[in-house]
Structure 1
Amino acid sequence: MIRSAPLHTARVAWRHSLRFRLALTYTLVALLLIGMIGAGVMTLLLRSMDRQFQARLGDRAEAVAERLTTPQLGLRQKSPPTSGYTAILDEQGRVVTAAAGLGLENGEPFPYSGQTQPEVRGTPMRAVTRAAGTFTVWVALPTDDLVVARQSATRALLFALLLTPALMLVIGWWVGRKALANLEEAADLADRIDPTRSLATLPLPVQEDEVHRLLAALNRLLVRIEAVQSREKQLLGQIVHELGAPLTVLKASLTRAGDRTGDAEVLRAALVADELTFTTQDLMQLARGQLEMRLAWHFIPATTLRSRLDRLVPGTTFAGHWDGMLLCDPDRLTQALRNLLANARRAAGPEGNVTLTLEESAEHITFRVRDTGPGLPPELGDQIFEPFVSGSGSSGLGLSVSRQIATMHGGTLTAGNAPGGGAQFCLTIPGAALGEEDEEAEETVSASA
């Protein structure tokens, strides 16, 4: 059985999403790979360009040296066009002739001797020398092309490092959403399964991938859980049935014996039998589950409920306004309040006080049970209402059943510690104000009863 809650009631935060983590992981991997590969490719490209530039510079120097040593060749060929500078030096390193752009006079010392990367007139250059007989040929070319190429390659790499991860993150998120759509739908459906009722299996995707295997394993687990729950409920029901009849007879016999003899031990034994009877009722409630419990609505005086509770839990102090009317199932509400009072009595001890206060408003009726015991353990919190969880030495079923009964009445049951010390439980049900339709329904219920 599946609750009628809407789909997608609890969305996973993006930082906890599996598809986001997958997309982020692939994005970081892509960033690392692009950075490494891009840096390697850029390094190889720049080295290749540097070698080509150095070869072009060497070819230029070789051509000038060859024309200088072979005058006939120089008469037939023109120097290849270049944007660099050329100078011819003598054995003492003085200028024999130089390009006009260098601004050097013949015979003066050459200022760029020994420099492979000089700066000529503010322009970075790369220079080589070649021997040409008794002369030295000096050729320099500007490195502007290399600088521009390096800057272009660096910008292209940075652009790839910025754009590609962003695209990878968006595409990875979209692909992950498509790939994990079946898993997300199954998670929403699983969140709507009520484990206290019959379990439902999760829908399987068409493609038999890892998600299909996971959901199939969960379905097999759900089937096993349902089988175990069914056996447990059946066994628990049989045990309660076997204990119920003897305890009822024992309780009646001890009550009559106590009334006849007045023996305190017999009366105490009757109270123990009464405690066991209510425990078996709680176990039966747990075995049947909330689905099988039905409420028999009655419109009763609040004093009737107080009288029943006074007999079941002697020593209770009643406060508040008990002169009104209640629309409830008297047996179930008595069972719920009796469980709260019995727990409070155990917590308060023989010398402590237990108070049941009735507060009534136009919309709600609140029963406030307070004791003078040590209070509720703070580490339990709301778990105290789970079956077999107890902070007072009881079976741990009473509070769970009491909350279940309050819920079926359309109300709530909360727990906490009172400001002055001790535990405090508040059971709230809708008020007893009736409209015309409710009055007709109540008359029908009373007539059938």
Structure 2
Amino acid sequence: MSLSQLEAPAPVRRNLPLTPGAGLYSARVAWRHSLRFRLALVYTLAALAAITVITLGMAFYLLGQMDRQFDRRLNDRAEAVAERLTNLQANLGKKLPPIQGYTALIDKEGNLTSISQALQSNTVGPKLRIGEPFPYLVENRFNVLGTPMRATTRKAGDFGTVWVALPEDDLVVARNSTMSALALSLLITPALMLLLGWWLGKRALAELGRAAELADRIDPSKSLAMLPLPDREDEVHRLLAAINRLNVRIEAGQQREKQLLGQIVHELGAPLTVLKASLERAGERTGDIEVQRAALVADELTFTTQDLMQLARGQLEMKLVWHYIPARTLMGRLDRLVPGTTFTGDWSTGLLCDPDRLTQALRNLLANARRAAGPDGKVTVCLEETPELIKFVVRDTGAGLPADLGERIFEPFVSGAGSSGLGLSVSRQIAVLHGGNLTGGNHPGGGAEFILTLPGAALADDDPLHDSMEDSGEST
């Protein structure tokens, strides 16, 4: 399945490279939460249960066969001895066979009449004597000289009963060896099967893990790049294709949202500009405090629409117009936009920047600081310069930033002071486009502190920013 076969509308950007720095980072999954480990464990347990049942069945079957074969051998021996004693005609003129092995003759009263030499040498258990009761007549299993025995009896006509026993030590050894081998296999097999399942799972789920890493790098705020599809159309292929279709729908929805937002902001921008100018003129002419306050509200709404427009356009579409301006010019702008700000540091330097964008970024920081500090609080902005860096430090005497927000404070529509939540996001975006950055936190002395940094104004001929300005034809 190719990307052209997706049913959703085509996105604006489809083949942007996936880099490790784009989006969320990929983390190793702990083994106890790993699908590969769970599959290997389930496979091991299922296979172990099957092997255990089959092996136990085979072991008991083989041991049963050996036991039955031993009984046949014992019965054959007893019948052979009884046959020699009872079939006298066939053995006429022949002597009775000597009683060998573990064999005895017992009369009808249960007394011993004849015994083999092996039984006479028994020193364990009762002493066997001719004419006395035979103690093993009713026992099928017993030990003689530490050897396990199994016995059986046969009628021998006038001679009484033939008692024959055979040692089953070989059978016991075979049984013990079988059970030991079975126990050892049940201990070793699970470990080997778990390792084998882990290895097979790693190979089988390699593409799925790779897909997870690629999906984790997607940053919806930048670009919803398509994931490469594997050659085999298996479950992983279906999952990645579904993610790609979802990305297409998300990006199409984002484009529609940006277009709608841009249209709304455009419709609001012109009336607000006229309203702001009219209120400012009315305030200057009449000196009415309420009119001047309304002019400040209109000014606030104007900057909010600028932030919304910037959000609608996106960072990649922002164009900077570079100028080299005195820092005092920027200070004058900020003083008019956010009255009551205290300026510290060295403002006699020059700045290479987009004055409108930098004013917008710093104005957002100062407006947030004034809102947090309140009418009786203090807002300061300090300008510090080094050959490599220009730093604007904005501080207020307010309650500080909520501890639970952290870096989320720079995300759109996230606010800790009741504002729209766009100012900090746009300000950081402007700082990054200038080659700097914006960070924020709470000052040890109280209140919030934001630091906006820009590269130093002195640029070499081979500086990338200098080259890009020359290539784009922007004025400096």
* Paired residues for 1:295-444 under 5 Å: 295-438=320-463
2:173 to 148, 158, 171: 148
- Measured after TM superposition, the shift of residue 149 of structure 1 is 2.2
* Paired residues for 1:234-273 under 5 Å: 234-273=259-298
Paired with 1:317 and 1:9, the residues of 2 have a C-alpha distance of 41
Paired with 1:211 and 1:85, the residues of 2 have a C-alpha distance of 72
Give yes or no for contact 2:265–2:308 (8 Å, CA) kept in 1: yes
Paired with 2:98 and 2:19, the residues of 1 have a C-alpha distance of 85
- Name the residue aligned to 2:72: 55
* Paired residues for 1:90-101 under 5 Å: 90-101=107-118
- Measured after TM superposition, the shift of residue 98 of structure 1 is 2.1
- Name the residue aligned to 2:475: 448
Give yes or no for contact 2:391–2:453 (8 Å, CA) kept in 1: yes
Closer, same or farther in 2 for the Cα pair 1:397/1:9, shift >3 Å?
closer
- Measured after TM superposition, the shift of residue 447 of structure 1 is 8.8
Give yes or no for contact 1:3–1:194 (8 Å, CA) kept in 2: no
Larger CA deviation: 341-350 vs 96-105? 96-105
Give yes or no for contact 1:193–1:199 (8 Å, CA) kept in 2: yes
Closer, same or farther in 2 for the Cα pair 1:229/1:447, shift >3 Å?
closer
Closer, same or farther in 2 for the Cα pair 1:81/1:90, shift >3 Å?
closer
1:190 to 209, 215, 227: 215
Which AA in structure 2 matches 1:448? S
- Measured after TM superposition, the shift of residue 440 of structure 1 is 6.7
- Measured after TM superposition, the shift of residue 77 of structure 1 is 11
- Name the residue aligned to 1:172: 197
Larger CA deviation: 344-353 vs 279-288? 344-353
Asked if 1:41 corresponds to 2:58, the answer is yes
Give yes or no for contact 1:14–1:20 (8 Å, CA) kept in 2: no
Which AA in structure 1 matches 2:156? A
- Name the residue aligned to 1:124: 148
Closer, same or farther in 2 for the Cα pair 1:364/1:139, shift >3 Å?
farther
Paired with 2:85 and 2:387, the residues of 1 have a C-alpha distance of 117
Closer, same or farther in 2 for the Cα pair 1:447/1:132, shift >3 Å?
closer
- Measured after TM superposition, the shift of residue 311 of structure 1 is 1.6
Which AA in structure 2 matches 1:63? A
Paired with 1:72 and 1:417, the residues of 2 have a C-alpha distance of 119
RMSD: 3.2
Secondary structure, in 3 states, of the residue corresponding to 1:259?
helix
Give yes or no for contact 2:373–2:398 (8 Å, CA) kept in 1: yes
- Measured after TM superposition, the shift of residue 171 of structure 1 is 4.0
Paired with 2:458 and 2:185, the residues of 1 have a C-alpha distance of 72
- Name the residue aligned to 1:10: 26
- Measured after TM superposition, the shift of residue 50 of structure 1 is 2.1
- Measured after TM superposition, the shift of residue 108 of structure 1 is 4.8
- Measured after TM superposition, the shift of residue 432 of structure 1 is 3.9
Secondary structure, in 3 states, of the residue corresponding to 2:343?
strand
**Unpaired runs of 5+ in structure 2?**
1-12, 122-127
Secondary structure, in 3 states, of the residue corresponding to 1:435?
coil
- Measured after TM superposition, the shift of residue 153 of structure 1 is 2.3
- Measured after TM superposition, the shift of residue 174 of structure 1 is 4.1
Secondary structure, in 3 states, of the residue corresponding to 2:347?
coil
Provide the identity percentage. Answer: 67
Secondary structure, in 3 states, of the residue corresponding to 1:428?
strand
- Name the residue aligned to 2:81: 64
Secondary structure, in 3 states, of the residue corresponding to 1:202?
coil
Which AA in structure 2 matches 1:125? M
Paired with 2:322 and 2:468, the residues of 1 have a C-alpha distance of 8
Paired with 1:279 and 1:395, the residues of 2 have a C-alpha distance of 8
**Unpaired runs of 5+ in structure 1?**
none
Paired with 1:213 and 1:246, the residues of 2 have a C-alpha distance of 51
Which AA in structure 2 matches 1:333? L
Closer, same or farther in 2 for the Cα pair 1:411/1:45, shift >3 Å?
farther
- Name the residue aligned to 2:103: 86
Give yes or no for contact 1:299–1:326 (8 Å, CA) kept in 2: yes
Closer, same or farther in 2 for the Cα pair 1:89/1:236, shift >3 Å?
same
Closer, same or farther in 2 for the Cα pair 1:66/1:411, shift >3 Å?
farther
Secondary structure, in 3 states, of the residue corresponding to 2:130?
coil
Closer, same or farther in 2 for the Cα pair 1:150/1:421, shift >3 Å?
farther
Which AA in structure 2 matches 1:391? G
Paired with 1:298 and 1:354, the residues of 2 have a C-alpha distance of 27
Which AA in structure 2 matches 1:45? L
Paired with 1:431 and 1:271, the residues of 2 have a C-alpha distance of 33
Paired with 1:214 and 1:19, the residues of 2 have a C-alpha distance of 17
Paired with 1:95 and 1:111, the residues of 2 have a C-alpha distance of 9
CA deviations over 1:232-272 (Å, ceiling 9, x no partner): 11111111111112212222222222223222112111111
Secondary structure, in 3 states, of the residue corresponding to 2:352?
strand
Larger CA deviation: 282-291 vs 310-319? 310-319
Which AA in structure 2 matches 1:25? V
Secondary structure, in 3 states, of the residue corresponding to 1:195?
coil
Secondary structure, in 3 states, of the residue corresponding to 1:205?
coil
- Measured after TM superposition, the shift of residue 427 of structure 1 is 2.6
CA deviations over 1:330-388 (Å, ceiling 9, x no partner): 32222122112211221222122222233444544333322222222223232222211
- Measured after TM superposition, the shift of residue 282 of structure 1 is 0.6
- Measured after TM superposition, the shift of residue 327 of structure 1 is 3.5
Matched length: 448
- Measured after TM superposition, the shift of residue 222 of structure 1 is 1.6
- Measured after TM superposition, the shift of residue 203 of structure 1 is 2.8
Closer, same or farther in 2 for the Cα pair 1:389/1:44, shift >3 Å?
same
Closer, same or farther in 2 for the Cα pair 1:179/1:295, shift >3 Å?
same
Give yes or no for contact 2:322–2:475 (8 Å, CA) kept in 1: no
Larger CA deviation: 10-19 vs 376-385? 10-19
Secondary structure, in 3 states, of the residue corresponding to 2:136?
coil
Which AA in structure 2 matches 1:216? A
Larger CA deviation: 236-245 vs 323-332? 323-332
Secondary structure, in 3 states, of the residue corresponding to 2:445?
coil
- Measured after TM superposition, the shift of residue 60 of structure 1 is 2.2
Give yes or no for contact 2:111–2:133 (8 Å, CA) kept in 1: yes
Paired with 2:461 and 2:357, the residues of 1 have a C-alpha distance of 25
